[in-house]
């Protein structure tokens, strides 16, 4: 027999034997123990509200929990979608609920809505990541950890009566593997009954044809299977929110009053508010919490751990070892680090070479420029020298002429001073003639 077969036989657990008890032992109180432990520990529930600005998110939250949560209105001019969580401590009877309402502020207000879903997805992932980090800690304290994972996303659909906007479809598609989505038609009092009926059918058709998975109320628990099945057929709920109280008959009810009549929030003929409250809070709150942990968080955790290199063993291979995975991952990381280092070094060397070449080229250009200037300078110098020689020659010529003229002038002067004496003599000789000396300067 093969060793693995023997191992399997020795590892196989024996079938437990059924025995009857002789009397009351007391472990039938286990469910009660569980309840009292949970009650003393308290619960947390986190709701994400996604819908365009002013669609009635805050009003619906106030109406659902019958209180006034402090909220500020969004401005319609947000540059991008921003997630705003607010946590409240609520108590009903002896049950404490830590409720976090996360508002997707500015959703649908940007001109370019391509990335509107991204901050929402990132926020949901960040809460999963926080939980995973806590789980992976050596000293973890999951018992009193404030779980901020989103348990439900109420997606507020604008009551257009037409069809879903592409933003709605894209966002819901991106969110459906990360969170339980309950779509609701907001401000349902602004749409007529027959239009609402057609609108609901259209929305469900579009969700199905686009493969968007919305949260289905569970039908595996007998106690709630029937009501949940009925309610699944009513999705998406068409709701009206109001914090005003109006007198109807002799009772004060929450309603919206119009000149033509009163829309009662809790009247099932007027809207599906009661159905939403039943399904969300009174029947399926625990299932939403559980689905978040066992389905959405599990998926996130699996992908994340696989990304980190962990994997489960298949039937035949060795059991999964944290140590080995860690070692393998470490080696992979080190070789990646080395590869990156080598890449950077090579890049640096290339850069230095490039700079060196550039510098050499610059030097050559400068040298050429210098040589060119030198040639120009020599040419100029030669021309100046020629000019100087020319001038020198001219000066010499001038000086010669000047000397000649001076000589002529002095001759002329000498001649003039001798003239009266000679005049008399000449008069005597030639009978008297006058002459004019003309001097021509060359
Ligand atoms: P931001 O937080 O600013 O995005 O708005 P919001 O989505 O929280 O809307 P909010 O609850 O502040 O309501 C905006 C306006 O819509 C208010 O004037 C509400 O009275 C009105 N409103 C809220 N719910 C309903 C509803 O069901 N029907 C009608 N007709 N009006 C509603
Ligand atoms: Mg609000």
Q: For 93-131, what is each residue's pLDDT tens digit? A: 999 999 999 999 989 877 777 788 999 999 999 999 999
Q: Tell me how far apart the 2 most distant CA atoms of the chain are, in Å.
A: 196
Closest ligand 1 atom to Cα of 73: 3
Above 60 in pLDDT, residue 440?
no
Assess contact for 179 and 124: CB atoms under 8 A.
Answer: yes
The mean predicted confidence, pLDDT, of the chain is 87
- Binding site membership of 187 for ligand 1 (Cβ less than 6 Å): yes
Cα of 243 to ligand 2 centre, how many Å? 13
Question: What's the pLDDT at 5?
Answer: 57
Q: Kindly tell me if the per-residue pLDDT of 9 is higher than 60.
A: no
Enter the pTM of the model. Answer: 0.72
Predicted pLDDT of residue 139: 86
What is the number of the ligand 1 atom nearest to the C-alpha of 103? 2
Q: What is the pLDDT of residue 7?
A: 57
Residue 11 has pLDDT above 80, yes or no: no
Residue 250 has pLDDT above 60, yes or no: yes
pLDDT of residue 298: 95
Tokens, residue 84: 């705003």
Ligand 2 centre distance from Cα of residue 49 (Å): 9
Atom of ligand 1 nearest to the CA of 52: 4
Rg (CA), the chain: 51
Choose among 158, 159, 199, 162: nearest CA to 51: 158
Q: pLDDT tens digits, residue range 182-221?
A: 999 999 999 988 899 999 999 999 999 999 999 999 998 8
Query: 59, 71, 260: which to mutate for ligand 1, most atoms within 8 A of CB?
Result: 59
Atom number of ligand 1 nearest to Cα 61: 11
Q: How many CB atoms lie within 10 A of CB 93?
A: 6
Are the CB atoms for 66 and 266 separated by under 8 Å? no
CA 303 to chain centre: 22
Burial class (CB in 10 A: 0-12, 13-18, 19+), 183: buried
User: Band of the pLDDT at 439, cuts 50, 70, 90?
Assistant: very low
- Residue closest by Cα to atom 19 of ligand 1: 56
- The two tokens of residue 166 are 């592409």
Q: What number is the average pLDDT over the span 397-426?
A: 83
| Closest ligand (CA of 186) | 1
């Amino acid at each position: 027999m093969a060793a693995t077969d023997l191992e399997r036989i020795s590892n196989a657990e024996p079938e437990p034997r059924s025995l009857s008890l002789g009397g009351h032992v007391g472990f039938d109180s286990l469910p009660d123990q569980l309840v009292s432990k949970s009650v003393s520990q308290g619960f947390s529930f986190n709701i994400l509200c996604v819908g365009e600005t002013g669609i009635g998110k805050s009003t619906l939250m106030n109406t659902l929990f019958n209180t006034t949560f402090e909220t500020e209105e969004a401005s319609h001019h947000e540059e991008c979608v921003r997630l705003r969580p607010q946590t409240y401590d609520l108590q009903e009877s002896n049950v404490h609920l830590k409720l976090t309402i996360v508002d997707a502020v500015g959703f649908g207000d940007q001109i370019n809505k391509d990335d509107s879903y991204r901050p929402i997805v990132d926020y949901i992932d960040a809460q999963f990541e926080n939980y995973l980090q806590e789980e992976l800690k050596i000293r973890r304290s999951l018992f009193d950890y404030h779980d901020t994972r989103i348990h439900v996303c109420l997606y507020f659909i604008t009551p257009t009566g037409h069809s879903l906007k592409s933003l709605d479809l894209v966002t819901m598609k991106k969110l459906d593997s990360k969170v339980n989505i309950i779509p609701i038609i907001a401000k349902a009092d602004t749409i007529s009954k027959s239009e609402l009926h057609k609108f609901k059918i259209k929305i469900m058709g579009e969700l199905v044809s686009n493969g968007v998975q919305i949260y289905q109320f569970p039908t595996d628990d007998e106690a709630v299977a029937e009501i949940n099945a009925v309610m699944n057929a009513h999705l998406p709920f068409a709701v009206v929110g109001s914090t005003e109280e109006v007198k109807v008959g002799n009772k004060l009810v929450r309603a919206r009053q119009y000149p033509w009549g009163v829309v009662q929030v809790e009247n099932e003929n007027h809207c599906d508010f009661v159905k939403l409250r039943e399904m969300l809070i009174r029947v399926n709150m625990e299932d939403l919490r559980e689905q978040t942990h066992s389905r959405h968080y599990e998926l996130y955790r699996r992908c994340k751990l696989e990304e980190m290199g962990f994997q489960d063993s298949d039937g035949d291979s060795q059991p999964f070892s944290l140590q080995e995975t860690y070692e393998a991952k470490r080696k992979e990381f080190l070789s990646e680090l080395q590869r990156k280092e080598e890449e950077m070094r090579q890049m640096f060397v290339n850069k230095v070479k490039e700079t060196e070449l550039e510098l050499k080229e610059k030097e050559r250009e400068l040298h050429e420029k210098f040589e060119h200037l030198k040639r120009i300078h020599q040419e100029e110098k030669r021309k100046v020298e020629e000019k100087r020689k020319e001038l020198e020659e001219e000066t010499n010529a001038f000086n010669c002429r000047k000397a000649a003229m001076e000589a002529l002038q002095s001759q002329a002067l000498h001649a003039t001073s001798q003239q009266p004496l000679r005049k008399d003599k000449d008069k005597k000789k030639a009978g008297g003639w006058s002459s004019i000396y003309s001097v021509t300067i060359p």
